[in-house]
Amino acid sequence: MNNFHTHTVFCDGKNTPEEYVLAAIDIGMPILGFSAHSHLPTEPEWSLSVEGEEEYRKTILELREKYKNQIDIRLGIEQDFWSSTEGLSDYDFVIGSVHSLNGDDTTWSSVDYKKENFLYGVEHYFGGDREAAAVRYFELVSQVYDKTKCDIIGHFDLITIFNDMTLEETGEMFVNTDDPRVVEAERKALEKLAAAPVIFEINTGGVNRGRMKHPYPSDRVMAFLSEHKIPVILSSDAHETRHLTAGFDEAMKLVEKFDLNLVYDYKTVENRQEVSE
């Protein structure tokens, strides 16, 4: 199984790119993609720096050459909604992701960071209405392909990150995704993206880091992806080599349960688009 969603020491990952390459070769992975977080001036903690991006690109290209007889290495980027799109076409592939609801408030930061920060943002920008924040989240996600021309949609419903554990603790969701406004915003985003040549991730990152019980996206979204035959790809959103394919067995069960259109390489979809054009 391949994985295109990996973070190294160039952003907020724990391992070097070469450690990922060796781990991937070790398990016989045919294709390994790197997807550092695109530069965000407000988020030096987890995004590439300007100089870091240069170094990142150089490092991955050197590794590609060094290990070309053992593994197919792809140079990608996890393009945040708020990052500049300049130079994006230099990457082999792009994962398009929304992490925050505005691009310039470091306290609000990303919706998946901590509950306290999320609640601050909700209070500050949405009058305490968590579901209004979720609606805004999905409005941004609906524009991700237009803005980034991404190959892959990253963690489509990241806004649900705190739901599984909060539900377990309190019996209620942290953000009520059954609220009709949220259901509608999610549906609109799905319909918009369904018209684009994109692949959705079945992303096990939240589960691997002990924050969720179910990979992104939810069962409801998976049912939509199935119904519309939208391609999906497994991704572990790895921040360390031991998570390279973590959670893929469970994710495969969902692929089978929902009869999803699984692809192993984003190029499958690119090629199909070229053929049909």
For Zn ion, which is the closer residue by CB, 110 or 177?
Answer: 110
Q: How far is the CB of 215 from Zn ion (least distance, A)?
A: 13
b/e burial code for range 43-75 (CB count within 10 A of at least 16 → b): beebbbeeebbeebbebbeebbeebeeebebbb
- Crossing angle, helix 130-142 and helix 115-126, to 10 degrees? 90
Check binding of 117 to Zn ion (CB under 5 A): no
Residue number with CB closer to Zn ion (47 or 177): 47
From 151, 201, 237, 265, residue interacting with Zn ion (rule: CB under 5 A): 237
β-strands 231-235, 261-262 pairing: parallel
The 74-93 contact track toward Zn ion, x by CB under 5 A, reads ----x---------------
* 12 or 179: CB nearest Zn ion: 12
Query: Which region, judged by CB under 5 A, interacts with Zn ion, from 67-75, 129-137, 147-155, 220-228?
Result: 147-155
Smallest separation, CB 274 to Zn ion (Å): 27
- Residue 84: CB atoms within 10 Å: 12
CB of 65 to Zn ion, least distance (A): 25
Distance between terminal CA atoms of the chain? 29
Q: Which of 2, 97, 109, 163 binds Zn ion (CB under 5 A)?
A: 97
Residues in CB range of 79: below 8 A, 6 or more apart: 38, 85, 88, 94, 95, 96, 97, 148, 150
Minimum CB distance to Zn ion, residue 32 (Å): 15
Which residues contact Zn ion (rule: CB under 5 A)? 78, 97, 154, 237
